[in-house]
Amino acid sequence: MISLIEAHGVRIPAVGLGTWELRGRDCARLVEQAVRLGYRHFDTAQLYGNEREVGEGVRASGIAREEVFVVTKVAPENLAPGALLRSVRDSVRQLRLGEIDLLLLHWPNREVPLEDTIGALVGAKRDGLVRQIGVSNYTVALLEKADRLAEHRLVCNQIEMHPYLDQSKVVAACRALDMAVVAYSPIARGGAKHDAVLERIGRAHGKSAAQVSLRYLVQQRIGVIPRTTKVERLAENIDIFDFELSETEMAEIRTLARPDGRIVDWDWSPQWD
């Protein structure tokens, strides 16, 4: 049984499957397999080019539509109002799952006024294309501005988060706005899997370093969307609800954060907190 994280009355399964770089039949098969193993949250994006396959995998699993929570993200080049609505209609067509559960703005884009983008995002909800709306890669300043502009609640900020990156400022801002935080790259793109501290802590619980990295986040009420191409790891990454990290272990993991811990950074990234 997967726990849920809640914000504004919206319940998001705490573990989801990240699907960046999963393609074609392999992607659809992995999603279908993940549903069988208990995953109820799937993360895709217009930029990943796999919305069709994610939808196919969910449908092939035979699970009832309302049992799964499907997230997609609007590409930064689609943030002007007309383009946003057109692109979301296309996402709905690709996924073929009816209304999208959560639509996020993938990255901020300085070239398009936030007022326009947020207005169009709210429009996608009003038009019944999506159930909930939110953002990704938003900083404290951007979150506060977006929240002021939105007439419907923004329920989530999806951000890079793992033991090597201190995101306490943006997490505090999300909590103040009652927004859920979902961590991408939650095992540091695989970088956490041979970490000596995480391995040692994991041994005490009969778990792997990757599982400790995921549990560390979930225990702070942060959702995680690990990605894997391997079925055995699908099972491993969701098997994190039968142990608890102590306060001392949580504190030790917190010390792993370092100034250069960020992995995902681009020219168009905002000024990080």
Ligand X SMILES: NC(=O)c1ccc[n+]([C@@H]2O[C@H](COP(=O)([O-])OP(=O)(O)OC[C@H]3O[C@@H](n4cnc5c(N)ncnc54)[C@H](OP(=O)(O)O)[C@@H]3O)[C@@H](O)[C@H]2O)c1
Q: Which stretch binds ligand X (CB under 6 A): 6-14, 89-97, 112-120, 180-188?
A: 180-188
State how far the Cα of 194 lies from the Cα of 191, in Å rounded to an integer: 7
Taking CB under 6 A as the rule, does residue 272 contact ligand X? no
Q: Pick between residue 181 and residue 225 the one whose CB is nearest to ligand X.
A: 225
Query: DSSP secondary-structure letter at 162?
Result: S
Tokens 């201190």 identify what position? 166
> Which of 48, 138, 184, 216 is an active site residue?
48
Query: DSSP secondary-structure letter at 25?
Result: H
Round the CA-based radius of gyration of the chain to a whole number and report it. 18
Taking CB under 6 A as the rule, does residue 134 contact ligand X? no
Residue 16: CA count within 13 A, CB half-sphere: 32
Q: Which of 8, 52, 131, 189 binds ligand X (CB under 6 A)?
A: 189
**x/- binding map, residues 78-117, to ligand X, per CB under 6 A?**
----------------------------x-----------
Is residue 164 part of the annotated active site? The answer reads no
Total residues at interface with ligand X (CB under 6 A): 27
Kind and range of the H or E run holding 101: strand 100-105
Taking CB under 6 A as the rule, does residue 210 contact ligand X? yes
Residue nearest to ligand X (CB): 18
Q: Which of 90, 264, 265, 269 binds ligand X (CB under 6 A)?
A: 264
Taking CB under 6 A as the rule, does residue 228 contact ligand X? yes
Quick one: 3 exposed, middle or buried, by C-beta within 10 A (0-12, 13-18, 19+)?
middle
Task: Report how many helices (DSSP H) and strands (DSSP E) the chain contains, helices first.
Answer: 10, 10
Q: Which of 237, 238, 249, 253 binds ligand X (CB under 6 A)?
A: 237
Structure tokens at 259: 């100034």
Query: DSSP secondary-structure letter at 77?
Result: G
Taking CB under 6 A as the rule, does residue 205 contact ligand X? no
Q: How far is the CB of 232 from ligand X (least distance, A)?
A: 8
Q: Pick between residue 43 and residue 151 the one whose CB is nearest to ligand X.
A: 43
φ/ψ region of 76 (left if φ > 0, alpha if ψ in -120 to 50, else beta) reads alpha
**x/- binding map, residues 3-32, to ligand X, per CB under 6 A?**
---------------xxx------------
Structure tokens at 258: 């370092």
Structure tokens at 250: 């949580």
Kind and range of the H or E run holding 160: strand 154-160
Indicate which residues carry an active-site annotation.
48
| Residues within the interface to ligand X (CB under 6 A) | 18-20, 43, 106, 136-137, 158, 184-190, 193, 210, 225-230, 233, 236-237, 264
